[in-house]
A and B are shown apart, each in its own frame.
Chain A
């Protein structure tokens, strides 16, 4: 069974049709891309899958379990994590705290425990912090664990966001324009990082990007949408030569 199944996903914002009849089956371990011109509805699809919006119509299933109507934190606990187009870290908190709080779903101690700071509380907190430090270390960020996120350079913040997403122990990661604002060198690093986390953490990755270099190089399969509708689907080679795709990005060809 595919890890993620999206069927007939449609969403209206009032009278505006943002997404129309979107379908996707993601197999475990795949690395799939989602591209399209600005305003095509790509981030909206991510929002619908993660529960930030409730879709007007359609089905979303993770391992067969329905996700539609669940609150976002539950959907995340089921195993979907995401990063954002503009970085949405908790600025006044430290890097370590940003990663620790993402473990919220795994907390087993009760409110009373958190006030009394008993044995079970201390043990769980220690474990979570250990795991968080290990995760940060894997990305070279352990040394900055106590830094406030707002004081970190942009590239590091992007990495923290990815680490935070990984802290939720997902099966599927949705990356929303992870290369935004990066220079070519950083983009190269990013591509390596994405492949790495896919392998190390046994992840399925679904990525929205504008940087064609990233999409064409690492994605196995690409979906193209425009005005909320799917206009093409296929391997990078197929997409590059697809006239509809070219038209969507560049306008009609004039011969």
Chain B
């Protein structure tokens, strides 16, 4: 019986958010906020795998988001929209709805392949040097997009037409739906992976990589898996982002500044804490909205907040604990670490 609590909760959440958006209970503004919350959750949870669980300092996450955004955006416009660069749509609009997740996945896969650019150097380098490599890769991606992608530095437009076509077939908050599903999938994937013994190899690498290698952990394989998962999910977030309002992306969005934003959310939530990442992503998105009246000044306040946090509570909101560690009663819904240790099945 207990096993149904969590799926039920997720379903309720889905109905509340999607239903509320469809029925216009949430206006356009709040739908946008919810959209960004979802995207930020995916970005934060995926980066946490590398920066939190694996203990690396990857500062180029936005680059992979950019890869996903461009691949998914270009693909969907080519397939489903009339465009200056690509000409008429290749496929009928009716297929846009079922094929949209495929497009997102293609974007994610592309991003995860680009992630190999960071995964392979990570075999020999760690720490500060790997940080630089991630920086350089972020910059290279942005530069490649500027120089080779349609639209160049000015950016690429057109995804809005795709979304409109989808609305034309059946009017629903499609992007929000897919963002919600993407978010849930991200959480499930990461949670399942890190709770498996294979996934615990990631933490072993963080704690003592040499010992891990000597205790039969294939550290290279684990690193590749971790990076590809992390970058792929960032690509998924990028694909969703590309279809946001305006339907416009440009390379300038996916710079180190954006990577820093994602890092802020990870460290705010607590490295190695899944619930921390989720809470932090939601909270930070709200914070950005609350501070919106400050305009540009909010980026003066936010760094100072984080500096203060480093002084007062550097391990972040949740540290490396999960919500179920702090509120054990929640184990009834979310399950617990011990439960996965249960030797007898229910």
Among B192, B200, B214: residue with most chain A CB under 10 A: B214
The answer to the question of A137 belonging to the interface, with a C-beta cut-off of 8 Å to chain B, is no
Contact A90 B211 (CB under 8 A): yes
Closest to B213 in A: A72
B185-240, CB < 8 A from A: 188-189, 192-193, 196-201, 203-204, 206-208, 210-220, 225
Contact of B197 among A90, A103, A116, A168 (CB under 8 A): A103
A residues in contact with B210, CB < 8 Å: 52, 72, 88
Closest to A117 in B: B192
Task: Return the CB mask of A58-81 against B: 1 if under 8 Å, else 0.
Answer: 000000000000011100110001
Task: Return the CB mask of B293-312 against A: 1 if under 8 Å, else 0.
Answer: 00000000000000000000
The answer to the question of A111 belonging to the interface, with a C-beta cut-off of 8 Å to chain B, is yes
Contact A130 B198 (CB under 8 A): no
Do A73 and B203 form a contact, CB below 8 Å, given A90-B211, A104-B197, A117-B192? no
Contact B193 A114 (CB under 8 A): yes
B residues in contact with A21, CB < 8 Å: none
B residues in contact with A90, CB < 8 Å: 203-204, 207-208, 211-212
Contact A73 B216 (CB under 8 A): yes
What's the minimum C-beta distance from A152 to chain B, rounded to whole angstroms?
A: 14
A108-151, CB < 8 A from B: 109, 111, 114-117, 121-122, 125-126, 128-130, 133, 146
Contact of A111 among B198, B340, B343, B345 (CB under 8 A): B198
What's the minimum C-beta distance from A47 to chain B, rounded to whole angstroms?
A: 9
A residues in contact with B212, CB < 8 Å: 90, 101
State which of A29-37, A92-100, A200-208, A232-240 sits at the interface with chain B: A92-100
Complex alpha-carbon distance, A185 and B207, angstroms: 31
The answer to the question of A82 belonging to the interface, with a C-beta cut-off of 8 Å to chain B, is yes
Do A96 and B341 form a contact, CB below 8 Å, given A90-B211, A101-B215, A115-B189? yes
Among B216, B218, B219, B340: residue with most chain A CB under 10 A: B216
What's the minimum C-beta distance from A44 to chain B, rounded to whole angstroms?
A: 14
The answer to the question of A22 belonging to the interface, with a C-beta cut-off of 8 Å to chain B, is no
What's the minimum C-beta distance from A81 to chain B, rounded to whole angstroms?
A: 8
Contact B197 A125 (CB under 8 A): yes
Complex alpha-carbon distance, A163 and B220, angstroms: 24
Contact B204 A101 (CB under 8 A): yes
Closest to A91 in B: B207
A residues in contact with B196, CB < 8 Å: 114, 117, 121, 125
Complex alpha-carbon distance, A83 and B231, angstroms: 35
The answer to the question of B253 belonging to the interface, with a C-beta cut-off of 8 Å to chain A, is no
The answer to the question of A164 belonging to the interface, with a C-beta cut-off of 8 Å to chain B, is yes
B90-110, CB < 8 A from A: none
Complex alpha-carbon distance, A207 and B76, angstroms: 63
Complex alpha-carbon distance, A52 and B214, angstroms: 8
A residues in contact with B198, CB < 8 Å: 104, 107, 109, 111, 114
What's the minimum C-beta distance from B326 to chain A, rounded to whole angstroms?
A: 16
Do A104 and B216 form a contact, CB below 8 Å, given A90-B203, A97-B200? yes
What's the minimum C-beta distance from B274 to chain A, rounded to whole angstroms?
A: 14
A residues in contact with B192, CB < 8 Å: 114-117
Contact A101 B343 (CB under 8 A): no
A residues in contact with B199, CB < 8 Å: 114
Do A73 and B218 form a contact, CB below 8 Å, given A84-B211, A100-B200? yes
The answer to the question of A10 belonging to the interface, with a C-beta cut-off of 8 Å to chain B, is no
Contact B215 A93 (CB under 8 A): no
What's the minimum C-beta distance from A120 to chain B, rounded to whole angstroms?
A: 12
Do A101 and B214 form a contact, CB below 8 Å, given A88-B208, A115-B193? no
Closest to B222 in A: A104
Do A92 and B216 form a contact, CB below 8 Å, given A100-B197, A107-B197, A133-B343? no
B residues in contact with A182, CB < 8 Å: none
Do A93 and B204 form a contact, CB below 8 Å, given A104-B198, A111-B225, A146-B338? yes
What's the minimum C-beta distance from A29 to chain B, rounded to whole angstroms?
A: 23
Contact B217 A104 (CB under 8 A): yes
What's the minimum C-beta distance from B325 to chain A, rounded to whole angstroms?
A: 12
A residues in contact with B343, CB < 8 Å: 126, 129-130, 133
A residues in contact with B260, CB < 8 Å: none
B residues in contact with A105, CB < 8 Å: 216, 218
Closest A-B pairs by Cβ, 9 of them = A90-B207, A105-B216, A114-B196, A88-B211, A76-B216, A104-B217, A102-B215, A72-B213, A104-B216
- Can you list 26 A-B pairs with a CB-CB distance of less than 8 A? A50-B214, A51-B214, A72-B214, A81-B215, A89-B207, A90-B203, A90-B211, A93-B200, A93-B204, A96-B341, A101-B204, A104-B215, A104-B216, A105-B218, A111-B198, A115-B189, A115-B192, A117-B192, A125-B196, A125-B197, A126-B343, A126-B345, A128-B197, A129-B341, A146-B338, A167-B215
Known: A93-B207, A117-B196. 18 other contacts (CB 8 A): A71-B213, A72-B213, A73-B216, A82-B214, A88-B211, A90-B208, A90-B211, A92-B207, A92-B272, A100-B200, A101-B200, A101-B212, A107-B197, A114-B198, A115-B192, A125-B340, A128-B197, A133-B343
Please give the residue numbers on chain A whose beta carbons come within 8 Å of chain B beta carbons, in ascending order: 50-52, 71-73, 76-77, 81-82, 84, 88-93, 96-97, 100-105, 107, 109, 111, 114-117, 121-122, 125-126, 128-130, 133, 146, 164-165, 167-168
